[in-house]
Homo-oligomer: A and B are copies of this chain.
Amino acid sequence: MGGRTGVWLIGARGSVAVTSMAGAAAVRAGLVEPVGLVGETPALAGVGLTPLADLVFGGHDVVDTPVQKRAEQLVQTRVLPAALPAAVADGLRAAEAEIRQGAHRDDRTPQAETAARLADDLTSFRVRNELDRVVVVNVSSTEPPVSPRPEHADLPALRAALRTSPDVLPTSSLYAYAAFTAGCPFVDFTPSTGARLPALDALARQLRLPYAGSDGKTGETLVKSALAPMFAARALRVLSWSGTNLLGGGDGQTLADPAAAASKTASKQRNLAETLGHEVDGQTHIDYVPDLGDWKTAWDHVSFAGFLGVRMSLQFTWQGCDSALAAPLVLDLARLTARAHRAGEVGPLGALAFFFKDPVGTTEHRLAAQFDQLCAWAAGLPA
């Protein structure tokens, strides 16, 4: 089965990370059913994922609120059941003990130095806990959009720049760089740049490491990827697809920024066009509504033409808890990426597109097709 696997979370004291840790502990203690964990379904049985009981958690963060305290806050916002933090106190304490100081965005230290420190944390975590491998998963806050630089496309130039520059890489990419240099696969769960730079792709390939991303598919886009293929298969012509996302959580503030929103909207309409085979009108709004807390509501309106051009419409409203939607995917992705690493997979893991809004390594956005590819890929991995 491949021994114990480390799950190193960037943003380890955030809502998603703590829900992942607490949830993994609760499921392995039999306190709750493994709802939301694709890795526990018959579809992925027998593919050799690390058992939940053999996952060990650690991570980086720049905030100080300990994991236990954050778990209590998650009870207040109705993400965690009231009795859970006490019931999994040991697991939370163990994870908290493995959290190290992360990289600060405004740190003026040359990034090579910071990367070395981060990589040391990873290596030391692996050795100390006798882990077969460590998968790094970025669940920290979304970064503002980043301007391209020539070094991003050229590994030697990047290495040179890192030695002197404090900001040639956005923080998410610095973590990916550190992960790769420590021999760890990397998963981008956020829309930040992360490993999605040609220079980092080159590094991953050089070091024979797989990576996955980007941007966990937990709500509106999930439903969209289930519904858009319906219109395509039935030859119904989508005329417009408009959406509004109301988010209260930490990311709401970043994502509601017009520039960030514009880039997300463009990406969403592009994905849609890839599924439908033609451009589609419409915008996607992301509104920061603080009172919603960890909850989010999305409304989508699809206008389409049927036979003889008759206009019809479909609307949906999705109401969910962001952390509870994201956390099981984090566990699934850590286990699947560890499995890919064990099997010797290298570069972007297109087979994990099922979990992402903007999948690397594929242009397949149809949910059912992504699921079929995931299952086929997992079943075909060499032991």
Contact = CB atoms under 8 A, between A and B. Distances in A.
A244 interface: yes
A347 interface: no
Most buried by B among A36, A229, A328: A36
Contact of A368 (B75, B236, B368): B368
A252 to B, nearest CB: 11
A324 interface: yes
Contact of A321 (B237, B306, B316): B306
A297 B291 contact: no
Copies of this chain assembled into the complex: 4
Count chain B CB atoms within 10 A of each CB in A75, A314, A325 and give the residue with the most.
A314
A292 interface: yes
A267 interface: no
A183 interface: no
A320 B306 contact: yes
Interface in A18-57: 19, 22-23, 26, 32-38, 40-41, 43
A346 to B, nearest CB: 27
B235 A246 contact: no
The dominant DSSP class at the A interface is mixed
Interface stretch (A76-84, A104-112, A185-193, A204-212): A76-84
A140 to B, nearest CB: 20
A81 B309 contact: yes
Contact of A307 (B19, B235, B368): B19
Contact of A242 (B35, B234, B246, B324): B246
A338 B148 CA distance: 57
Nearest to A80: B308
A40 B313 CA distance: 22
A317 interface: yes
Contacts of A197: none
Top-9 shortest CB links A-B: A368-B368, A36-B307, A239-B291, A310-B324, A316-B316, A312-B320, A226-B230, A244-B244, A233-B371
